[in-house]
Amino acid sequence: MDIVNPSILSGFMELLPDEQKLFDEIKLTIEKNFIKYGFVNLDTPLIEKEEILLSKGGGETSKQIYRIDKESTPQALRFDLTVSLARYVAMHANELNFPFRRYQIGKVYRGERNQKGRYREFYQCDIDIIGNEKLDIVNDGEIPSVIYNIFSDLGLGEVTFRVNNRKLLNGYLELISVSDFESIMRTIDKLPKIGIEKTKLELEKFGLNSLQITQIFDFINLTELENTEILDKLLKIEISNDSYSEGLGELVKVYEYMKMFGIPEKNIKIDLTITRGLDYYTGTVFETFLNGYESIGSVCSGGRYDNLASNFTKQKYPGIGLSIGLTRLFYQLNDSKLLKKQEKTVSHNILVIPMNEEVLDYSIEVVNLLRNNDINSQIYLETVKTKKKFNYADKMGIKNAIIIGETEKQNNTVSLKNFDNGNQEELKLENLVEILNGGKYEN
Report the residue from 22, 26, 85, 90 that binds a second copy according to the rule CB under 8 A: 90
- Among residues 220, 217, 108, the alpha carbon closest in space to that of 164 is found at 220
Q: Would you say how long the chain is, in residues? A: 443
For a second copy, the binding residues in 208-237 under the rule CB under 8 A are: none
The span of 50-58, 171-179, 197-205, 232-240 binding a second copy (CB under 8 A) equals 50-58
Q: Give the residue with the Cβ less far from a second copy, 313 or 418.
A: 313
Residue 104: exposure state from Cβ atoms within 10 A (0-12, 13-18, ≥19):
buried
Q: Work out the end-to-end distance of the chain between its first and last CA atoms, rounded to an integer number of angstroms.
A: 46
For a second copy, the binding residues in 387-426 under the rule CB under 8 A are: 392, 395-396
Binding-site size for a second copy (CB under 8 A) equals 99
User: Are residues 304 and 140 in contact, defined by beta-carbon separation less than 8 angstroms?
Assistant: yes
197 lines the binding site for a second copy (CB under 8 A): no
136 lines the binding site for a second copy (CB under 8 A): yes
For a second copy, the binding residues in 143-172 under the rule CB under 8 A are: 149
Distance CA 363, CA 402 (A): 9
In angstroms, give the least distance from the CB of 178 to a second copy. Answer: 26
Distance CA 196, CA 192 (A): 8
In angstroms, give the least distance from the CB of 16 to a second copy. Answer: 5
284 lines the binding site for a second copy (CB under 8 A): no
Angle value at C-alpha 408, between 404 and 413, nearest 5 degrees: 105
The span of 159-167, 231-239, 335-343, 368-376 binding a second copy (CB under 8 A) equals 368-376
Distance CA 380, CA 394 (A): 13
Task: Output the CA–CA distances (angstroms, integers) from residue 211 to 138, 190, 238, 383, in the order listed.
Answer: 37, 21, 17, 83
In angstroms, give the least distance from the CB of 86 to a second copy. Answer: 8
In angstroms, give the least distance from the CB of 213 to a second copy. Answer: 34
Name every residue whose Cβ is closer than 8 Å to that of residue 440 and which is 6 or more positions away in sequence. none
In angstroms, give the least distance from the CB of 405 to a second copy. Answer: 18
95 lines the binding site for a second copy (CB under 8 A): yes
Q: Give the residue with the Cβ less far from a second copy, 392 or 441.
A: 392
Distance CA 263, CA 261 (A): 6
41 lines the binding site for a second copy (CB under 8 A): yes
Report the residue from 107, 118, 186, 190 that binds a second copy according to the rule CB under 8 A: 107
374 lines the binding site for a second copy (CB under 8 A): yes
265 lines the binding site for a second copy (CB under 8 A): no
315 lines the binding site for a second copy (CB under 8 A): no
Name every residue whose Cβ is closer than 8 Å to that of residue 273 and which is 6 or more positions away in sequence. 164, 188, 189, 191, 192, 220, 223
Report the residue from 62, 378, 415, 443 that binds a second copy according to the rule CB under 8 A: 378
109 lines the binding site for a second copy (CB under 8 A): yes
Report the residue from 252, 346, 364, 433 that binds a second copy according to the rule CB under 8 A: 364
Distance CA 384, CA 367 (A): 19
Report the residue from 26, 30, 81, 102 that binds a second copy according to the rule CB under 8 A: 102
For a second copy, the binding residues in 2-31 under the rule CB under 8 A are: 2-9, 12-17, 20-21, 23-24
Task: Mark residues 336-355: x for contact with a second copy by CB under 8 A, - for none.
Answer: -------------x-x----
- Among residues 56, 123, 111, 110, the alpha carbon closest in space to that of 278 is found at 56
Q: Give the residue with the Cβ less far from a second copy, 197 or 374.
A: 374
How many CA within 13 A on the CB side of residue 243?
Answer: 15
311 lines the binding site for a second copy (CB under 8 A): yes
Distance CA 326, CA 106 (A): 10
In angstroms, give the least distance from the CB of 95 to a second copy. Answer: 5
Q: Give the residue with the Cβ less far from a second copy, 15 or 225.
A: 15
Distance CA 427, CA 430 (A): 8
Residue 287: exposure state from Cβ atoms within 10 A (0-12, 13-18, ≥19):
buried
Which strands form 121-130's sheet, in the order they lie side by side? 40-41, 100-109, 121-130, 319-325, 300-305, 284-290, 159-165, 268-270
360 lines the binding site for a second copy (CB under 8 A): yes
